[in-house]
């Protein structure tokens, strides 16, 4: 091969420009390996193009952009995408996304606030309901007490104080006897709490001869708040007594357990 002729043909210049076919490229690179003159010529051509392209640059900005480059490369590597075109200065797009994100967060916040307010309101409604119930209860209780009070101050009520006996000298009670309705209100405020398994029993007494008749048990003693019990009494009572009896009550009073006793004042 005539190397001089080959070199002067201009094929090497086209090789450096990248304008040859794949077969021609392969041929030139093989010749370059086996002929140092060709290799040297290629390098000299390349050097001239390098010099020209360098001179064509109006200069690079001062900061090195290597860090930025690696950031972009690594960012793309992670995504597994070769991002070939870098969109330039699309601040509008970025600010659009940012605005969308802010709006989304805002909406989420408002939604949460709304949910919280709903929960708070439900709680308040529940509380109001509870308070109303309490007021209703209190009102009912007041009515009851009022009624009780009115019953006790009725002019037809006979008041019988029952005083403490041997087993319980400090105990006391009162019987309010309404003869017209045949009811006895027993105010047992002054009696001690009965021991478990025991119950207070109220007796109507006739004195000569001594005849006790049971008119009822105070079996809700522990749970009753005002300790006033209403019992039926159709007897012509001359006295009232309260004894402590086994649960369920007794046929006849256990006199050893007589807590209080009081005679009806003669009218």
Partner 1 sequence: MGSFFYIFSENLLMELDLLVQRFQEKDRKAFEKLYEMYHINIHGVIHTIVRDKELAEELAQDVFIKIWNNADSYNSTKGRFFTWILNIARNTAIDELRSRNYKNLKKNLSADYFVGILERPDSEEEDAPDTKGLKKLVKGLKEKCIELIELLYFKGYTQKDASEELKIPLGTVKTRNRNCISQLRDNIDLEWI
Q: Tell me whether residue 19 or residue 110 sits nearer to partner 1 (CB atom).
A: 19
Q: Tell me whether residue 82 or residue 265 sits nearer to partner 1 (CB atom).
A: 82
Angle at 240 (CA atoms; ends 239, 241), nearest 5 degrees: 125
Helices 36-56 and 22-34: angle between axes, nearest 10 degrees: 120
Minimal distance in Å, beta carbon 108 to partner 1?
A: 36
Which H, E and C letters describe 213-264, residue by residue? EEEEECCCCCCCCCCEEEEECCCCCCEEEEEEEECCCCCCCCHHHEEEEEEC
Query: What are the residues binding partner 1 (CB under 8 A)?
Result: 8-11, 13-20, 22, 25-26, 29-30, 40, 42-61, 65-66, 68-70, 72-73, 76-77, 82-86, 88
Consecutive H or E run containing 89 = none
Minimal distance in Å, beta carbon 29 to partner 1?
A: 5
Q: Tell me whether residue 94 or residue 140 sits nearer to partner 1 (CB atom).
A: 94
Q: Tell me whether residue 4 or residue 156 sits nearer to partner 1 (CB atom).
A: 4
Minimal distance in Å, beta carbon 96 to partner 1?
A: 21
Minimal distance in Å, beta carbon 19 to partner 1?
A: 6
């Amino acid at each position: 091969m005539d190397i001089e002729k080959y070199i002067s043909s201009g094929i090497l210049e086209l090789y450096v420009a990248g304008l040859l076919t794949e077969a021609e490229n392969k041929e030139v690179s093989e010749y370059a390996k086996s002929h140092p003159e060709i290799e040297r010529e290629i390098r000299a051509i390349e050097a001239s193009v390098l010099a020209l392209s360098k001179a064509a640059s109006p200069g690079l900005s001062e900061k090195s952009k290597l860090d930025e480059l690696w950031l972009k490369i690594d960012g793309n590597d992670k995504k597994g995408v070769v991002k070939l075109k870098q969109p330039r200065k699309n601040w509008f797009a970025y600010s659009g996304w940012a605005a969308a994100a802010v709006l989304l967060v805002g909406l989420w916040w408002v939604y949460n606030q709304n949910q919280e307010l709903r929960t708070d309101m439900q709680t308040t409604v529940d509380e109001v309901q509870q308070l109303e119930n309490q007021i209703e209860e209190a009102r009912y209780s007041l009515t009851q007490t009022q009624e009780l009070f009115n019953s006790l101050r009725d002019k037809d009520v006979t008041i019988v104080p029952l005083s403490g006996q041997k087993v319980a000298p400090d105990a006391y009670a009162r019987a309010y006897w309404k003869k017209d309705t045949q009811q006895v209100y027993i105010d047992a405020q002054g009696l001690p709490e009965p021991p478990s398994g025991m119950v207070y029993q109220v007796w109507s007494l006739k004195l000569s001869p001594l005849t006790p008749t049971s008119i009822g048990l105070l079996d809700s003693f522990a749970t009753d708040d005002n300790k006033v019990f209403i019992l039926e009494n159709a007897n012509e009572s001359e006295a009232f007594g309260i004894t402590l009896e086994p649960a369920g009550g007794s046929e006849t009073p256990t006199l050893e357990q007589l807590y209080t006793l009081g005679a009806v004042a003669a009218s």
